[in-house]
Amino acid sequence: MVSGFSSSSAANSHDQNNYYAGLTLATPVAGLKVGLAYDYARNVAGTDDSILGVYASFQATPKLSLHGRAEYVNNGTSGGVKEGSAYTLTAQYDLWQNVISRLEGRYDLVSDQSSTRNNVLTVYANIIYKF
């Protein structure tokens, strides 16, 4: 289990405290890990933002891994989305030493009917060199 706390203060900004807790567990299935993460931000202006996420990771082969994540967002900040969720699927392949490729799809679902924002589907493709 990992947990953390940070506090920030900046000019022309509100002081904010951030809290994080995360847990990753191995399962009886070879190569499968599952986890849970919770982020909470408290702003001195009185707004609370929180994200709860669950995720799974599966090492299918020595070079191929598959990942899934679901997140629930409750945003107390005025002017933005108040409530929503996001679902992400990722396939990662290690091309060469220090070079990986990723194909990722993400669907953001706005649950707050008062928001002017729409649901969004995005697809990302990356080639990454690790230094």
* Domain residue limits, the chain: 23-115+125-129
One-letter amino acid identity for 71? E
Entry pTM: 0.76
pLDDT tens readout for residues 50-109:
889 999 999 999 999 999 999 998 876 555 557 889 999 999 999 999 999 999 999 988
Whose CA is closest to 77, among 115, 111, 109?
A: 115
End-to-end CA distance of the chain: 28
- What pLDDT is stored for residue 4 in this prediction? 59
pLDDT tens readout for residues 40-51 = 887 766 677 888
Secondary structure of residue 125 in the 3-state scheme: strand
- What confidence score (pLDDT) does residue 49 get? 81
Question: How confident is the model at residue 7, as a pLDDT?
Answer: 59
Q: What does the alpha-carbon distance between residue 109 and residue 118 come to, in Å, rounded to a whole number?
A: 8
pLDDT at 48: 78
